[in-house]
A and B are shown apart, each in its own frame.
Chain A
């Protein structure tokens, strides 16, 4: 697959604050590439540089072979942005939001009309064309943001936490639409804090923390490499640790104590579970390892505020 976005030594500084600290990555044409990380990790700053609304401090960032930059209209023409913040034009109706956006992209009136009808169908908002933005639910607003981002038939779609604040139905609908866009050939760049979202959508992800990329890979491989296949959780006071650890010595599992929970990370949790049952502990769970385990392991468990 051809490369669409190439970053090397990509850096963004705001005064003394280093938001992105010299990162390298490649995004391939037609894939969904995810930036994961806690608040303030530099995900949004990175994608804002990709879609040309934030200048690069140093390093290089090529999109479609062109250097990304504020004045790069050619890149903006082929990019669709689903922003984190719902910035629909509240003075305008649903349809007018799309009409105006079509103008911004030099799309002719007749063509715009056809695309708007098609897009409203795509995001299931046909019935709301004349509605005011304030009459839409959060899910509808987010869907309209998607329709708006697609008005120029973008080759590159940047989605910055596109499902924040949505209920499961709305979230799944958006995931389906984003997957559909990918099958239609668009390249998707996603930032998210929801590990399930990354697992559902992304071909490859990077985990960012404090402006750096900690790990890169496919979601499945990252889980396998960092955690293993299974996790055993025991909710038990720390005083029990010595007894439990002594009892399961010999198993090839890493362990970690976090607050009220003792975690075991194993390739196969089965044997360990059997052994633990002998201790008759009240609250034990054996589950598959997830991206969330990777995320917490890499970025730590303290709050990022």
Chain B
């Protein structure tokens, strides 16, 4: 793989482009978490009573943090990257410079991760205003680092989909058949404890399950069972997915 400091140049290019869209994307990133927190957290939470001794919102926030980072980074590496390849031809001009295709892709994954972080961070701020804060202030820092990590993981995963996407429509398969179901089977909105055994096993194959588990532990400071395993699974997965995404994108970009 041909990766160097030039990844930062690609990130910088995205930052320049982002300047014009900061406000709308901030609004979108804010409205989506508010939606979840108000409808599920406040609305539904009112019927749910105490959840492990605390209001439901406390259970919900760490899960939604992880899923928000996943959503934003995925969408950026699906639609954002696709537009840059097919419509704006940004990649064409990039790879004719000393920046390699690998760096262009890695830069976009880093960018997707940053967008994920913004979403997750905004969510954390909103939650703070609703009275839900991490167990200790330094935990917020760990959560930020973790969100960057899951952004890289899910951004790379999305990049694999983009590398073989013939058109925009193709992304619906991934968002509707993979991402949305994952959102409901990964313990974001409710614990997996009451699932039948086979569903629990299935959930362990979903990266978001592990991400949510870690996020919740980091947030609440209450270690969950299997947390070390989850971290190991995610790190291994991120390494594989990142490598594969760069290789597959190389196939798409270099002809």
Interface residues in chain A, defined as those with a beta carbon under 8 Å from any beta carbon in chain B? 14, 51-55, 70-71, 73, 76-77, 79, 81, 83, 85, 87-92, 96, 99-101, 103-106, 148
Contacts and interface: CB of A to CB of B under 8 A. Distances in A.
Contacts of A90: 88
B225 interface: no
Contacts of A14: 255
Interface string B4-18: 001001001100110
Nearest to B14: A91
B88 A104 contact: no
Given A76-B97, A87-B93, A100-B12, A55 B254 contact: yes
A54 B9 contact: no
Interface stretch (B23-31, B98-106, B128-136): B98-106
Contact of A70 (B9, B93, B101): B101
A233 B95 CA distance: 48
Contacts of B92: 83, 85, 87
Main secondary structure of the interface of A (DSSP, over half): loop
A100 B254 contact: no
Given A104-B97, A106-B98, A53 B254 contact: yes
Given A71-B2, A87-B90, A51 B96 contact: yes
Contacts of B9: 100, 103-104
Nearest to A90: B88
B89 interface: yes
B20 interface: yes
7 contacts: A55-B254, A71-B2, A85-B89, A100-B12, A100-B16, A104-B6, A105-B98
B94 interface: yes
B96 A100 contact: no
Contacts of A87: 88-90, 92-93
B99 A104 contact: yes
Nearest to A52: B96
Contacts of B17: 89, 91-92
Contacts of A99: 16
Q: How large is the interface on B (under 10, 10 to 19, 20 to 34, 35 or more residues)?
A: 20 to 34
Contacts of A103: 9, 12-13
A53 B95 contact: yes
B93 to A, nearest CB: 5
Instruction: Report which residue of A14, A85, A87 has the largest number of chain B beta carbons within 10 angstroms of its beta carbon.
Output: A87
A139 B95 CA distance: 24
A89 B255 CA distance: 21
B98 A89 contact: no
B12 A89 contact: no
Contacts of B12: 100, 103
B88 A91 contact: yes
Nearest to A91: B17
Shortest Cβ-Cβ A-B pairs, 7 listed: A91-B17, A87-B89, A104-B97, A73-B98, A81-B96, A87-B93, A76-B98
Nearest to A72: B98
Nearest to B90: A89
Contacts of A83: 92-93, 96
A53 B12 CA distance: 22
A106 B13 CA distance: 14
Contacts of B16: 91-92, 96, 99-100
A214 B101 CA distance: 34
Nearest to B104: A104
Contacts of A85: 89, 92
A92 B21 CA distance: 12
Given A104-B97, A104-B98, 20 more contacts: A14-B255, A51-B96, A53-B96, A54-B254, A70-B101, A71-B2, A77-B98, A83-B96, A87-B88, A87-B89, A88-B93, A89-B17, A92-B17, A100-B9, A100-B13, A101-B93, A101-B97, A103-B12, A104-B9, A105-B98
